[in-house]
Amino acid sequence: MFLELRNLHVKYGNVEALHGIDIRVDEGEIVTILGANGAGKTTTLMSISGLVKPSEGGVFFRDEPLHKLHSHEVVARGITQSPEGRRVFGTLSVLENLYLGAFTCRDKARVERTLGWIFELFPRLEERRGQLAGTLSGGEQQMLAIGRALMGDPKVLLLDEPSLGLAPILVKSIFDTVRTINQSGVTVVLVEQNARAALKLATRGYVMEVGRVVMEDSAASLLANPEVQAAYLGGG
């Protein structure tokens, strides 16, 4: 098994946010997690990256229990997250932000190769490599957040709302780039409000409601499902 969440429960204080979810991600897939605000999508991603710990159940990567590791050890296993809200270090340059994403890698030649690949994916970042990240546009900051996650040379990329707040033309470009990243061999777990675009890109999807998985299917079947259409795809 590649990546697997088994009976995962997460609590914030006394309040349980995830009530025992099961999700599996096969190598090479794009799996999308859909759900309304507060369904637990971000909590699910943070559980995979080790930022929150389960109260019961666990997260397994090639059968190793990730939930027993620190988050930097999870990164070292090849699992990186691009957080919601384009969290970049505003007072550092584009290049400095990118190098921070490679903190687990001591192989300098490899870091430079990865950087070259990221500049191919996002030429805009290369043009603006010396600019302070805080002065980038929203779309550019999103590219930088994804680029920084890629600097860890991940096997699994966790993307939280990459299209949030972007103009439609940039949304398409971000989704195209996610496809290219996946085709280069990176498995992707994608949390998205833009359910239609996410399902068009994904192999399979999970629908979450208040801390539970209520549906799981191939992306094509979810796109064609009348319940999903009514709840998440604007009725058609």
Tokens of 54: 């389960």
Max Cα–Cα distance, the chain, nearest Å: 51
Nearer to ligand ATP, 118 or 211 (CB): 211
Q: Is 35 in the site for ligand ATP (CB under 6 A)?
A: yes
Which residues 156-185 are close enough to bind ligand ATP by CB under 6 A? none
- Is residue 48 a contact residue for ligand ATP (CB under 6 A)? no
49 lines the binding site for ligand ATP (CB under 6 A): no
Asked if 41 touches ligand ATP (CB under 6 A), the answer is yes
C-alpha 29/C-alpha 182 separation (Å) is 8
Selected from 5, 17, 115, 159, the binder of ligand ATP by CB under 6 A is 17
Smallest gap from residue 41 Cβ to ligand ATP (A): 4
162 burial type by CB count under 10 A (0-12 exposed, 13-18 middle, 19+ buried): buried
Window 106-165: residues binding ligand ATP (CB under 6 A): none
Residue 10: Cβ within 10 Å count: 24
Q: How many residues bind ligand ATP (CB under 6 A)?
A: 10
Q: Which region, judged by CB under 6 A, interacts with ligand ATP, from 32-40, 67-75, 85-93, 176-184? A: 32-40
Residue 54 found at the interface with ligand ATP (CB under 6 A): no
Q: Is 16 helix (H, G, I), strand (E, B) or coil?
A: strand
How far apart, in whole angstroms, are the C-alpha atoms of residue 44 and residue 194? 18
Considering only 8, 30, 34, 39, the residue that binds ligand ATP (CB under 6 A) is 39
Alpha carbon 31 to its chain's center: 10
Q: 107-115 contacts: CB < 8 A, separation 24 or more?
A: 110/153, 111/151, 114/150, 114/151, 114/153, 115/151
Is 42 one of the binding residues for ligand ATP (CB under 6 A)? yes
Among 32, 43, 142, 194, binds ligand ATP (CB under 6 A): 43
| 3-state SS assignment for residue 33 | strand
- Selected binder of ligand ATP within 40, 50, 54, 154 (CB under 6 A): 40
The contact set with ligand ATP (CB under 6 A) reads: 12, 17, 35, 37-43
